Amino acid sequence: MRPRFLLHAAVAALAIGGGATPAFAQATATQQLLQRLHEKGILTDEEYAQIMAETKVAPAPAASPQAAAQDSAAGALDMSRLVKITPGGIGMEVGPATIKFSGSINAFYVNENPQTPGPRTAVGGGIASVGTDSSNAVRNGLLPGFLLIDVTTKQAGLDIGAHFGMYPGINSANWGALGANNGGQPTALATTGIDFRQVYITIGGKFGTVKMGRDIGLFSSEAILNDITLLAVGPSGGNVAPANTSLGRIGSGYIYTDFQPQITYTTPSFGGFQASAGIFQPLRSLTAPAQNNTSPGFQGKLTFDHGFGEDVKLRLWASGITQRHETVGAGTAGLVSYTGRGFDLGGKLAVGPITAVANWYTAKGLGTTVLNLLDTDARGNPRSSNGFYAQVLATFGKFSVGGSYGESRLGLTALERAAGNTLVRKNSSYVGQIRYGLTDWVTLLGEYTHAKSTAHGGNEAESDSIAAGAILFF
């Protein structure tokens, strides 16, 4: 009876671990199991031969200890080469590493009606469009497309990650000082540009996470990540020759955080609180006198998350930035060096289907719209700036309706306070938006935007735009 019992045990063991196993693989596994029982003396030679005959599997020659060790090593090697799908998202587990893919594509039809040019419409640094006729474009919104690749693994007790983010737009790029972020080039035979914004490594553990490479900055990052125009268009930033992106609420509510080289540390979460601090590659001004910056930049951010039951969620944040700017020839011709600083404060409150966001910032020597644009006067004296935005988004099933208002203000230095100055004093915009969740991946959007720019000397310009399109995330 023992051979029959052992045969049933062997078959049961294979059934538990094998599932629907191909005949050849099942026969091979049975042979290996019975061979191990024979080698350990559990089956006699007679019992081994009898069971092998009953299962119609030819007896295999006894393996030497060396061969058995080689078989075991080969089995371990095969396990390490297995490829499995990830439990969630789009990705695969390859041996010790997990590879995940995510991305987005958007396209919008945008019609813009600009301010007709006149003697009082010039505003330097204004976001409102000025032109003789309306313009039409098929373009990206505030986001270009993107493809993210994340490779993660665990080594020496640490969570290790490699991250790559490619951001191609749909419009042809006009390469220049700003790369793919220049104004577009709507001509035949031109091509789109790939804005490789992210390339960084992460090393994490119970101590937190260290990030090294190029990624989104800390200062003002929450402002843009919670902005409803991130998924749409907002002020166009130029609709006749579209660039990789529109402005969204950049320049009429916050300063763009940008993607920057950095070494940043983020703590674990302590009771909902989490802090990040980093050292950054110093940026030169886009408009100030020539600079030779030798001191690094520093940025930090503090967030707090808390839920009040299932239907109420709160997120608060504060962030700051500082960097020393060394003006070439400072001390001569009245040129000065200065330190650019900024601070923002904001929050998001979700109560059932309603989500409200507010953000405020103040800065000196940062300028407006993007970091270090119009940050000083002609002699390098820093200008002050501030701004805010507020928005509400209501979601009912697949439909969402939202609106927001924001403005950014730029001050003058003591050398500039004169009548007739055309430098922008305030950029503001109203945005109304409607969304429909067509599928889990695709959202349809319609949007209306009114932008206004006012100069210190009294000049004004206003423009209106309508956008309709879709954005896909996977």
241: Cβ contacts below 8 Å, ≥ 6 apart: 174, 183, 184, 185, 186
Give the rounded distance of the alpha carbon of 246 from its chain centre: 17
Candidate from 62-76, 214-228, 280-294, 317-331 with smallest mean pLDDT: 62-76
Q: Determine the pLDDT at residue 173.
A: 83
The per-residue pLDDT for range 102-142, each reduced to its tens digit, is 999 999 999 999 999 999 999 999 999 999 999 999 999 99
Burial of residue 99 (number of CB atoms within 10 Å: 0-12, 13-18, 19+): middle
Tell whether the model's pLDDT for residue 4 goes beyond 60: no
Reported as half-sphere exposure (CB side, CA atoms, 13 A), residue 119 has a value of 1
pLDDT band at 39 (very low <50, low <70, confident <90, very high): confident
pLDDT tens, position by position, 43-102: 777 777 777 766 654 444 555 656 555 555 555 545 556 788 888 889 999 989 999 999
Q: What is the mean pLDDT of residues 136-162?
A: 97
Which of 392 and 40 is assigned the larger pLDDT? 392
pLDDT at res. 326: 96
Find the range with the poorest average confidence among 252-261, 322-331, 387-396, 412-421: 412-421
- Does residue 348 register a pLDDT over 90? yes
pLDDT of residue 163: 98
CA distances from 119 to 122, 123, 368, 458, 459 (A): 7, 11, 24, 11, 8
How much of the chain exceeds pLDDT 90, in percent?
72
The pLDDT value given to residue 180: 79
The token duo for 192 is 């789109």
State the Cα–Cα distance between residues 8 and 372, nearest whole angstrom: 77
pLDDT given for residue 64 in this prediction: 60
Could you give the CA distance from residue 256 to residue 264 in angstroms, rounded to a whole number?
A: 19
Choice among 259-268, 301-310, 330-339 with the minimum mean pLDDT = 330-339
- pLDDT at position 15 is 42
Fold of 105-142+203-473: Porin (2.40.160)
Share of the chain above pLDDT 70, in %: 86
Written as one string, the DSSP assignment of 3-43 is HHHHHHHHHHHHHHHHSS--HHHHHHHHHHHHHHHHHTTSS
Q: In sequence order, what are the residues at sequence separation of 6 or more whose Cβ sits closer than 8 angstroms to the Cβ of residue 224?
A: 230, 248, 249, 250, 254, 256, 257
Cβ partners under 8 Å of residue 147, min gap 6: 101, 102, 103, 165, 166, 168
> For 394-413, what is the mean pLDDT?
98
Q: Going by C-beta distance under 8 Å and a sequence separation of 6 or more, which residues neighbour residue 38?
A: 45, 48, 62
